[in-house]
Amino acid sequence: MKDKNNADALYARAMCFYYQDIPDRALQFFAHALRVDPDHKKSRQAIKKSKLLLAKKEEGNSEFGKGDYQAAYETYTQALQIDPLNIYTNSKLYCNRALAGSKLGKVEEAIADCSSALELDPGYLKALQRRAKLYQDNGQHEEAVRDLEKIFRLEHTHENREKLSDAKHKLKLSKRKDYYKILLVDKSATQDEIKKAYRKAALKHHPDRHSSAEPDVREKEEQIFKEVSEAYSVLSDQDKRHRYDNGLDIEDASGMGVDPTVIFSQFFGGGGMPFDTVDFGSAFGGSSTGGRRRRGQGGNAFTFNFGF
């Protein structure tokens, strides 16, 4: 190096390594500059800052490795205050703090830290991967898919393709209705429990029960009644339930082929259980008067007069 005895040139070279987050090389050149000129003020100040930043980063890494995530989080925070201009080092510190934060349950803060890291270094793959996982863990599937698509564009690997495919599948699942939640049963519910849940919900939300309510209430209850019927039509069918539980497409799962009135009629009137024997009043905790089914001509239409 032709400027090996020029302190200013050595300092400039050291700063290049420093801002590229190559601290060992930066320290070598700072030290060389001070050997050439022990009074070189800029090198003395810079080497002090570089050593402090490196020490804090390593301290945080050590604390994280020991499982002391809170201490690591605080140390990374201190390190970020040392030199706001050191973009690449700070992007890694943000990413490290994001990991520590995620271990502490600070998911939103961790996502924000990954975003800060990417603002400083848009091509920082690890920060992108970490944020994608945090998005998935936080149920933000659309955001996770966007990040994983960026990752796949940066690295066309089989692993990244699989992760993207899995994320898209989870996004699809997140947009479908939760039939267990609609019927208020656990995913391990038996068929008897599902039938009981449907019976209770169907009677509660049947449109005839709310025929005298305000239009918006009637509309809301009718929608709930449809969803309850849709949920029952899937969960009461072993094959459909199996496909639903495994995230597979289900015929008529959108409700397009589900007639809630037919399901209701079959449930309460089929299998040797005539509608005339159903006591709707007692089902709602009231009198049985006015709770019987009124058959229309031909036996197809059904209207309920609950007497509320």
pLDDT digits (tens, 9 = 90+) for 32-68: 999 999 999 999 999 999 999 999 999 999 999 999 9
Which of left, alpha, beta for 144 (phi over 0: left; psi -120 to 50: alpha)?
A: alpha
Q: Output the pLDDT for position 100.
A: 98
Q: Output the pLDDT for position 106.
A: 97
Question: What would the mean pLDDT of 166-175 be, rounded to a whole number?
Answer: 89
Of the pLDDT bands very low, low, confident and very high (cuts 50, 70, 90), residue 118 is very high
Output the pTM of the full model: 0.69
pLDDT at 269 over 90: no
Percent share of the chain, pLDDT over 70: 83
pLDDT at 215 over 80: yes
Q: Output the pLDDT for position 259.
A: 76
pLDDT at 211 over 80: yes
How many helical (H) and strand (E) elements, i.e. helices and strands, does the chain have?
A: 15, 2
Return the axis-axis angle of helices 41-65 and 7-19, rounded to nearest 10°: 30
CA separation for the pair 293, 269 (Å, rounded): 10
Of the pLDDT bands very low, low, confident and very high (cuts 50, 70, 90), residue 287 is very low
Q: Output the pLDDT for position 145.
A: 97
Candidate ranges 107-116, 240-249, 250-259; pick with highest mean pLDDT:
107-116
How distant, in Å, are the alpha carbons of 79, 144, 151, 162, 211 from that of 141? 32, 5, 15, 15, 40
Q: Which residues lie closer than 8 Å to 29 by C-beta, 6 or more apart?
A: 10, 11, 13, 14, 17
122-159 as b/e: b if 16+ CB within 10 A: eebebbbbbbbbbbbeeebbebbbebbebbbeeeeeee
